[in-house]
Structure formats: structure tokens, C-alpha cells
């Protein structure tokens, strides 16, 4: 007799995988820590002092569950953004909210549309709930929202995933283009607009639409500009009926109360956020200069990273990446051709970028030798 759990056929069919290999896994594999952690698009500049103080103060209360309604954080966000708490759902980062969104909308066999090479964690959730992914190629180095909507119309998709600004390429489109594209959105299709990097984007990148617009949900995070990636705090902005529906399936006690306190405090420190944005801009300028000094092409970026065109194919870019990792420089790269001709480098401290400047020419020499 065989003992053990009886997995549903869907779960039994899925690969045992993680969308991203963490830097800690790679450090254990190589037997040494990274000199520069420039691959996960975290903020090396950290949280604001006020956020850190709030989290430390809340540590003594960590024996309590967090408020399952997220009242204080939703109130602070509503005041900041000019909406109502009824427009806001909070959750365990955008990753957690994407999982809830897919669970809420996607039944086995339902069509979902995304870009080929876009955020793989979204695809992971869709596969886990039995959705059928339909992928649309990038247009150049940017996601193509009109093509995504056209594909959704063709396959009767429940959900479209679109990131603006985009990861992994750093590209972006004007919010007015999103508004125009939505005129063609089929009835019954929801646009999941991932705005994880919105704090770094030019004015006008976010669409000028009411938060009550039922055609989309905007997903944002405290992981990037606010420097709280490890705290796992994200939020969604949408029509109240959609936001209420999350209460049917979300983990009501999934939030960490210290992290929530830190997020509330972070929202009140505009000066710190502005300083981080400037430091990221300076770091991106330095990364671009390092790339050009080595004959490579940095792509325009509205995020906290720079995607660098290595000028050949994916095999060459992977060789460059591996050679950087062997020197203790953690970076990542897009997964799908032709974007996989690039590597992606997050904004870092001056010492991190000094190390990159030393390592990159050696990495290119190694890659060219292979």
C-alpha cells in the first residue's frame, strides 16, 4: 500500500520550481557571499529612519496578529493617494496579491494573457490555478498593450498582465496610451497593471483614471522605492466591488504587524523617498557609463535598474552573467529571446558599482573567450 497525500491532477502535473533563484541559494552554491547584490531590484538604500523606528517599536507587540482589515495602512494610503480605503486591498507584496487575484478570477481552463518574457511569478500563479497562458511578444524592448488586448479579445481572456514600468527591460509607456488602449478592452477582461516601479517613473506614466474604474486593478509595493522588500507589503487599487471580493479568498492574517507599521511610517517621509529616487538616478547614470565604457548599450530605464544590451545573443549574455557571478557580482537577465541578449543590473551603492566597474571588463573577456 502506498501512503501519502493524493494530489489533484493539476498539482501533480506542475513542476517543482521557484520562479527566481535567490542570491542566498547562489551564495551557498558558490561557497562565498556576493560582493555586490545587484540582481533582485531591491533598494540597497533601505527604509526611511521613521519606518525603521516604527518597526522596532512594534517588535514588542509582535505577539499580536496584525489587524486583518489593514485599517491603518489603507487609511494612510487613501490620504496619500486621494482615494478611499474601499479602493484599497493590502497584501503580502505584489507577488501575494497576484496570487489572490488569479485565485479570485481564474478557473481551470480560463485564458490569461501576458507578454512573453514578462514577470514569471505571475505565470507561476496562473499555472497553479489551472489557467491557460497566452503570450504576446514584446514590441522591441517594451510590452505591447494593444497587442495584449487584441489577444485577450481573441481568446476571451479573464485577465491581462501588463507592467508599467516594465521588468525586465525597464521600458515604460505614457499613461495616456494606457487610457487609449483600454477603449478596446473586451467586456469581462480585467487589466492587472503592475506599477511596482512607479516611484521612479516620469510624471504621467500612471493612467489618469479614477480608482473606481472597473477595467483595471493597479498593483504597487513598498519593496522598491520604500526599501522594504523583505517586509512583504503591497497594495492594490481598484473598484470597491473588486476590492471587497478579495475578502472571499485572501489570507486575512497574512500581514506582519511590524511591517505594516513600517509602511505607514514610510508614507509620511516624502523627503526620504525623494532622496532615494535621486540616488537611484545617480546609480543608473553610473551603471550606464560603465556599460558604455565597455562597449555595451544601456537601455533607457524608468525603474531602479538598468538593462544592458550585450550586443550578441542569449548565450553570450549568459556567459557574461556567469562570469560576473563568479567574481561575486550578483545580477540577473531576461529569460526570453531577443530580450535575453541583455543583463539587468540594479542600482547599488558606490562601492557596489566600483566592484562592477572592475568585474565587467573581465567578464566580457571571459565571455568572448568562450
Rounded (5°) CA angle 255-277-335: 70
88-120 pLDDT tens trace: 999 999 999 999 999 999 999 999 999 999 999
Global pTM? 0.96
- Distance (Å) of CA 249 to CA 97, 105, 244, 253, 345: 11, 11, 10, 12, 36
Out of 13-22, 161-170, 319-328, which region has the weakest mean confidence (pLDDT)?
Answer: 13-22
115-141 pLDDT tens trace: 999 999 999 999 999 999 999 999 999
Domains of the chain: 21-46+271-369 (3.90.1150.10), 49-268 (3.40.640.10)
Q: Could you tell me what percent of the chain has a pLDDT over 70?
A: 99
191-209 pLDDT tens trace: 999 999 999 999 999 999 9
Give the chain's mean pLDDT.
Answer: 97
Q: Using an 8 Å Cβ cutoff, are 157 and 112 in contact?
A: yes
pLDDT band (50, 70, 90) for residue 18: confident
321-340 pLDDT tens trace: 999 999 999 999 999 999 99
217-261 pLDDT tens trace: 999 999 999 999 999 999 999 999 999 999 999 999 999 999 999
Amino acid at each position: 500500500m502506498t501512503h501519502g497525500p493524493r494530489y489533484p491532477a493539476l498539482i501533480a502535473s506542475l513542476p517543482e520550481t521557484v520562479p527566481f533563484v535567490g542570491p542566498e541559494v547562489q551564495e551557498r552554491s558558490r561557497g562565498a557571499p556576493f560582493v555586490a547584490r545587484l540582481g533582485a531590484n531591491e533598494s540597497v538604500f533601505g527604509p526611511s529612519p521613521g519606518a525603521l523606528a516604527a518597526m522596532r517599536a512594534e517588535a514588542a507587540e509582535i505577539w499580536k496578529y496584525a489587524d486583518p482589515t489593514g485599517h491603518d495602512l489603507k487609511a494612510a494610503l487613501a490620504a496619500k493617494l486621494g482615494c478611499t480605503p474601499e479602493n484599497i486591498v493590502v497584501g503580502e507584496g505584489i507577488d501575494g496579491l497576484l496570487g489572490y487575484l488569479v485565485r479570485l478570477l481564474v478557473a481551470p481552463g480560463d485564458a490569461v494573457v501576458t507578454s512573453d518574457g514578462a514577470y514569471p511569478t505571475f505565470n507561476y500563479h496562473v499555472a497553479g490555478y489551472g489557467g491557460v497562458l497566452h503570450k504576446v511578444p514584446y514590441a522591441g524592448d517594451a510590452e505591447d498593450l494593444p497587442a495584449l488586448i487584441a489577444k485577450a479579445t481573441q481568446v476571451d481572456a479573464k485577465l491581462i498582465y501588463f507592467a508599467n514600468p516594465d521588468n525586465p527591460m525597464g521600458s515604460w509607456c505614457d499613461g495616456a496610451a494606457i487610457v487609449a488602449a483600454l477603449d478596446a478592452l473586451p467586456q469581462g477582461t480585467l487589466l492587472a497593471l503592475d506599477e511596482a516601479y512607479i516611484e521612479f517613473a516620469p510624471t504621467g506614466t500612471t493612467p489618469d483614471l479614477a480608482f473606481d474604474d472597473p477595467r483595471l486593478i493597479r498593483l504597487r509595493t513598498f519593496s522598491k522605492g520604500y526599501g522594504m522588500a523583505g517586509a512583504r507589503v503591497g497594495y492594490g487599487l481598484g473598484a470597491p466591488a473588486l476590492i471587497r471580493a478579495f475578502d472571499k479568498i485572501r489570507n486575512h492574517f497574512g500581514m506582519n504587524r511590524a511591517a505594516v507599521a513600517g509602511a505607514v511610517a514610510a508614507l509620511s517621509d516624502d523627503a526620504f523617498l525623494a532622496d532615494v529616487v535621486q540616488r537611484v538616478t545617480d546609480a543608473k547614470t553610473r551603471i550606464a557609463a560603465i556599460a558604455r565604457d565597455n562597449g555595451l548599450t544601456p537601455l533607457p530605464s524608468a525603474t531602479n535598474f538598468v538593462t544592458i544590451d550585450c550586443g550578441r545573443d542569449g548565450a553570450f549574455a549568459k556567459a557574461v552573467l556567469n562570469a560576473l557571478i563568479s567574481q561575486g557580482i550578483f545580477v540577473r537577465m531576461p529569460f526570453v529571446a531577443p530580450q535575453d541578449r541583455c543583463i539587468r543590473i540594479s542600482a547599488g551603492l558606490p562601492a557596489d558599482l566600483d566592484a562592477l566597474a572592475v568585474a565587467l571588463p573581465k567578464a566580457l573577456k571571459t565571455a568572448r573567450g568562450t
